[in-house]
């Protein structure tokens, strides 16, 4: 069949519209940061519109940490990132959710449905200290922290000696699990203790790797105490890095944000006097602290710092445990304890 001139023009226009002058379509794949883990849902927030810029001398680990800060929705200190981070599309919250803040006074008006019995402490100390009027014996709720070094613990007996709570070593670094963690985690609950898990932070691994490792190994139990990040110097560690205070804060923030998002509880910071003086004095005011002070009350060792737990001995003795054990107290009365644990659950 013959086509008219008008028909030929129409057909030519249609064919021209189907041709591309730019060549085959290119698909851009945006690769998320290595710090993004299963603890952070990538579908819950948009992918950053631009790469997070690093300082000229930044290492690969620095770049990974900077990516993690963007994904975690945190604003690092100015010297940690360049001004290019302002181009990231993800909204950055101005402050922490009020519901997750640690109260200045642990007492609340909440009433838990079931209250566990509080046992008076019967601990002894291989190296007793006279704390004077600030004696830890004046606190109502005592507890312990344990790891593999306490061996096979008789948790029922330990509880009756005054261990009303226990923090149990879970992980350190990005690949080490305390071999007694699962056993201690299960048996402590069976004995009726309130228990939580802690992670020993390793400065030669990225914060994201360590958070993911902790999350992989510590169950998400609504009744557990908030997770703990243990930050201190360790002369026996093979990691000899000495980071700046800004970098330390950055890594801690990434780790704590990932845990808070996964467990729904604000992590507690454990530390010792030398590390605190060098890096934490005045920092992280919105977080609860667990302080080591084995020779004086925390008010003297950490002036001006509010605290939730006080580790007052590293040489405790108790029935149910072979060898020495760390002893701790909760800052508050029995009523404060019940109300705080109800809030933390």
Do residue 230 and residue 310 come from a single domain? yes
Q: Which pLDDT band, with edges at 50, 70 and 90, does 262 fall under?
A: very high
Packed helices 207-217 and 60-72: angle between N→C axes, nearest 10 degrees: 60
Q: Which pLDDT band, with edges at 50, 70 and 90, does 61 fall under?
A: low
Q: Where among 55, 79, 94 does a domain terminate?
A: 94
Q: Which pLDDT band, with edges at 50, 70 and 90, does 59 fall under?
A: low
Do residue 337 and residue 232 come from a single domain? yes
Whole-number pLDDT of residue 237: 80
* Residues 116-154 pLDDT 10s: 999 999 999 999 999 999 999 999 999 999 999 999 999
DSSP 298-321: HHHHSTT---SEEEEEEEEE-TT-
Do residue 58 and residue 177 come from a single domain? no
Do residue 137 and residue 273 come from a single domain? yes
- Alpha-helical runs (H) found in the chain: 5-18, 60-72, 155-160, 181-190, 207-217, 245-263, 273-275, 298-301, 334-344
- Domain for residue 163, yes or no? yes
Rounded CA gap, 212 and 191, in Å?
29
Task: For the beta carbon of residue 31, count every other beta carbon within 10 angstroms.
Answer: 9
Residue 61 CA, distance from chain mean position:
19
Whole-number pLDDT of residue 56: 42
Q: Which pLDDT band, with edges at 50, 70 and 90, does 234 fall under?
A: confident
Do residue 242 and residue 313 come from a single domain? yes
Do residue 223 and residue 174 come from a single domain? yes
DSSP 224-257: SPPPEEEE---TTSS------HHHHHHHHHHHHH
The tally of CA atoms less than 13 A away on the side-chain side of residue 6 is 0
Could you give the residue numbers annotated as active site?
Answer: 232
Whole-number pLDDT of residue 79: 37
* pLDDT (average), residues 228-256: 93
Residue 62: pLDDT above 70?
Answer: no
Do residue 257 and residue 192 come from a single domain? yes
Do residue 275 and residue 313 come from a single domain? yes
Do residue 124 and residue 79 come from a single domain? no
Look at 73-87, 150-164, 238-252, 280-294 and tell me which has the smallest mean pLDDT. 73-87
Tell me what percent of the residues of the chain surpass a pLDDT of 90. Answer: 63
Rounded CA gap, 36 and 67, in Å?
8
Q: Which pLDDT band, with edges at 50, 70 and 90, does 288 fall under?
A: very high
Domain region containing 178: 120-344
- Domain for residue 111, yes or no? no
Number of domain units in the chain: 2
Residue 32: pLDDT above 50?
Answer: no
Do residue 65 and residue 194 come from a single domain? no
């Amino acid at each position: 069949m013959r086509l008219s001139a008008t028909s030929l023009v129409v057909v030519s226009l249609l064919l021209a519209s189907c041709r591309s002058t730019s060549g085959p379509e290119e698909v851009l794949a945006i690769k998320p940061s290595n710090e993004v883990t299963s603890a952070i849902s990538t579908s819950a927030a948009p992918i950053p519109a631009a790469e997070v810029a690093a300082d000229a001398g930044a290492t690969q680990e620095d770049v990974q940490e900077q990516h993690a800060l963007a994904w975690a929705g945190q604003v690092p200190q100015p010297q940690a990132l360049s001004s290019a981070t302002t181009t990231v599309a993800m909204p950055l919250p101005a402050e922490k959710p009020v519901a997750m803040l640690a109260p200045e006074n642990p007492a609340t008006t909440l009433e838990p449905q079931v209250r566990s019995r509080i046992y008076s402490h019967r601990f002894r100390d291989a190296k007793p200290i006279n704390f004077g009027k600030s004696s830890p014996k004046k606190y109502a709720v005592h507890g312990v922290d344990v790891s593999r070094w306490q061996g096979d613990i008789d948790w029922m007996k330990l509880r009756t000696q005054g261990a009303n709570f226990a923090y149990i070593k879970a992980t350190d670094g990005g690949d080490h699990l305390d071999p007694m963690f699962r056993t201690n985690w299960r048996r402590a609950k069976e004995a009726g203790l309130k228990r939580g898990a802690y992670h020993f932070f390793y400065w030669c691994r990225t914060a994201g790797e360590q958070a993911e490792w902790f999350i992989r190994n510590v169950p998400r139990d609504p009744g557990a105490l908030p997770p703990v990040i243990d930050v201190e110097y360790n002369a026996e560690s093979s990691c000899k890095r000495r980071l700046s205070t800004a970098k330390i804060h950055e890594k801690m923030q990434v780790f704590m944000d990932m845990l808070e998002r996964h467990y729904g509880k604000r992590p507690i910071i454990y530390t010792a006097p030398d590390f605190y003086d060098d890096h934490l004095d005045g920092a992280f005011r919105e977080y609860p602290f667990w302080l080591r002070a084995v020779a004086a009350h925390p008010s003297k060792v950490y002036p001006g710092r509010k605290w939730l737990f006080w580790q007052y001995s590293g040489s405790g003795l108790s029935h149910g445990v072979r060898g020495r054990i760390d002893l701790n107290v909760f800052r508050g009365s029995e009523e404060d304890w019940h109300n705080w644990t109800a809030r933390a659950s």
